[in-house]
Amino acid sequence: MLSLSTLCGAEGRWAFDECRVLAQRHSRRRSPQLPVSAPLQLPSDLQESGERIELEHGRRRYAQPSGDFSVCCPAVEERTSPKAGTRRDGSLALLYASDEFKQVFFERSCDTRGPQPLPRRRHRCAQEYSYSYAVLDISGNKVLDLIRIRSGCRCEVKRRSNRRRKKRRRDRNKRAEIRRKRRRQRGSQSQTNARNAS
């Protein structure tokens, strides 16, 4: 990676700030290839066996219902180590793995095992996805790229149809039509009665 002095070659505080901005732009334009020399270490708080077992079996990440509110679509957090992943363009790529290097992702999936708090005819749970960086193995080269992972559960509620409103409107129109017919009949009867009387 280029240093700030070689990229700009300027001095002074204002020049240093400008150089830093230029360096950030330059680093964004570079290709996302990353040579991997040492395996990534898990954080120390995940090294404990109890925490690891709890994460492997999945952990519920939603609060218990309080008052009148409950979770529409609960989600379960899982720790996964996939062998392949879907890239942003939809292609499938193999993830880099070795004896010392293992990639771990924390994914949140829809929990369909438990009882659903809302009736199924009115709502459904849909899986949401996001992208996370992963080291891919593309024809022997290690490349840092984004892959799709499960990120949560979305509740989709069906809009209530206007059947009742439409039925009321239909009934109202029928009643109005019946009243018009009766008025016409009364009008024609009164005209015939007037003719007969004269």
| Residue boundaries of the structural domains of the chain | 1-30, 32-157
Contact (CB, 8 A) for 87 and 32: no
Residue 43 reports pLDDT greater than 50: yes
pTM, whole model, 2 decimals? 0.46
Phi, psi of 75 (to 5 degrees): -125, 155
- Most distant CA pair in the chain, distance: 117
Contact (CB, 8 A) for 91 and 107: no
Average pLDDT for 39-45: 53
**Which CATH number applies to 32-157: 1.10.3720.10, 2.10.90.10, 3.40.190.10, 3.40.50.150?**
2.10.90.10
Report pLDDT digits (tens) over 51-100.
Answer: 444 444 444 444 455 556 677 788 889 999 999 999 999 999 999 998 88
Burial class (CB in 10 A: 0-12, 13-18, 19+), 62: middle
Report pLDDT digits (tens) over 104-162.
Answer: 999 999 887 766 656 667 778 889 999 999 999 988 899 999 999 999 998 888 777 77
Residue 190 reports pLDDT greater than 50: yes
Nearest residue to 115 (alpha-carbon basis) of 130, 125, 105: 125
Contact (CB, 8 A) for 116 and 108: no
